[in-house]
Amino acid sequence: MRVLICSANYAPELTGVGKYSGEMAEWLAAQGHEVRVVAAPPYYPAWRVAEAYRGRPFCRETLAGVQVWRAPLWVPSRPGGLARVLHLLSFGLTSAPLLLWWALRWRPHAVVCVAPFFTAAPGALLAARLAGAPAWLHVQDYEIDVAFSMGLLKGGWLRRGVAAAERFLFRRFDRVSSISQRMLDRAGDKGVAPERRVMFRNWVDVDAVRPLVGMSPYRRELGLADDDVVVLFSGTLGRKQGLHLVPEVARRLAGERRLQFVVCGDGPMKDELVRSAAGLPSVHFLPLQPLPRLGELLGLADIQLLTQDAAAEDLVLPSKLSGMLSSGRPVVATCAPGTEIARTVQHCGRVVPPDDPAALAEALRQLADDADARRRLGDAARRFAEQHLHGERVLQAWCAALVPLAHAG
């Protein structure tokens, strides 16, 4: 197959959508397919374009056998409200000419558009039609719904107009996939017929991220004792992650000397978090770590922490969850009962109400005092990852749906 992929976030970004889009394209190339990608320059999660890509609009490179064209975009220093809208629109405008060019010149057999950056969907859909190829929309994040739910965008007339445009576009893609059942159901709410919906979970390399034998070297690097109970949050430090809870919970548990919190990552909320945690010796910060050390990092945890803003529930499923589960550690998640996160975590960790620091502190205290429960729940997390999130199996199943669609087109 010749596959044209549009994904604003792409390798070498280490977290979130960029990581998965990069691995997806590279896996397709490794199977012998020809793959070309239209992406933005790396900027996430720091919200700064990487130094090597500055001043290079519309540059081209080859990564792991994949030709990648970079379309410039505007990256705001404070991504909220109107600034976020302009950010999304900028990539939609700059990516469209590249998509149309490759559609006419290269004639791909399939065009895959990855959301967020739903603003690129019109260009991807038109490119597919020009090439006579099927159009596949993969939804990692309902960014427009999240923006309205969190108050970043406001106005009933605006929401109705955007919802109508979304529905118009969703119904015209030949296939729409997403990473959880709740998110797939939401595609149905936007007009996608059941036969055009496909489950395409985020995956994990279960061989690279597995229960760590022995102590993680990060304990020595951070000066942590062997018997400290480490609560780890690793990922993007943004508003929808609900990270304001971490310093507050650390204060509530200040008397529990063995409990240590490690926050690893980057994002627009990092400076605020560091200020809020000032004077708390139990809170430690790490910058974003290289991918080869992911197993060691996740193995640092005795408890994995998954905080989430209630407004974003079931509009996103945090990509970090797959690695957490594969690490064989229990997960404590802040979410409402019945949500996709709750349904996943309830058998391998603890679920507490969102924005409830007292409940979160108590759940962490109980698990810190019960090594047997941590071991039992961690084993359940690992089994779930092996059964449902195995990278090779997930990608093979997706490709098995894409290939006949492309040939039929």
Mean pLDDT of each 10-residue bin along the chain, 409 residues long? 97 93 98 98 94 93 97 89 86 97 97 94 97 97 80 79 90 96 92 96 95 94 96 89 93 93 93 94 95 94 91 71 96 92 93 94 97 98 96 97 91
* pLDDT reported for residue 308: 85
C-alpha span between 135 and 99 (Å, rounded): 12
C-alpha span between 150 and 33 (Å, rounded): 40
Is the separation of the CB atoms in 283 and 306 below 8 Å? no
State pTM to two decimals. 0.91
- In angstroms, what CA-CA distances link 324 with 138, 151, 190? 23, 29, 31
Q: What is the DSSP string of 12-58?
A: T--SHHHHHHHHHHHHHHHTT-EEEEEEPPS-TTTTS--GGGTT-TT
C-alpha span between 365 and 43 (Å, rounded): 37
* Token reading at 376: 């039992």
Q: What is the DSSP string of 150-186?
A: TTSS--HHHHHHHHHHHHHHHTTSSEEEESSHHHHHH
In 202-249, the DSSP E strands lie at: 229-234
- In angstroms, what CA-CA distances link 284 with 15, 49, 241, 265? 20, 26, 18, 11
Percentage helix, strand, coil for the chain under 3-state DSSP, each rounded to 5: 45, 15, 35
C-alpha span between 390 and 366 (Å, rounded): 30
* pLDDT reported for residue 313: 62
CATH topology of domain 217-388: Rossmann fold (3.40.50)
- In angstroms, what CA-CA distances link 392 with 149, 199, 201, 291? 35, 15, 12, 18
115 bridge partner residues: 139
* pLDDT reported for residue 53: 96
Strands 34-39 and 303-306: unpaired
H or E stretch including 128?
A: helix 121-131
Find how far residue 183's CA is from the centre of its chain.
Answer: 13
* pLDDT reported for residue 147: 75
Is the separation of the CB atoms in 279 and 250 below 8 Å? no
Strands 34-39 and 331-334: unpaired
Q: Do domains 2-203+390-408 and 217-388 have the same CATH topology?
A: yes
Residue whose pair of structure tokens reads 């000397």 in the numeric block: 257
In 3-state terms, what secondary structure has residue 218? helix
* pLDDT reported for residue 120: 96
C-alpha span between 234 and 19 (Å, rounded): 14
In 265-308, the DSSP E strands lie at: 283-286, 303-306
Residue 395 sits at the vertex; the CA angle it makes with 392 and 401, to the nearest 5 degrees, is 140
C-alpha span between 163 and 373 (Å, rounded): 45
C-alpha span between 13 and 11 (Å, rounded): 5
Q: What is the DSSP string of 370-389?
A: -HHHHHHHHHHHHHHHHHH-
Find how far residue 156's CA is from the centre of its chain.
Answer: 28
CATH topology of domain 2-203+390-408: Rossmann fold (3.40.50)
Domains of the chain, by residue range, sit at: 2-203+390-408, 217-388
* pLDDT reported for residue 92: 96
37 bridge partner residues: 5, 68
* pLDDT reported for residue 314: 57
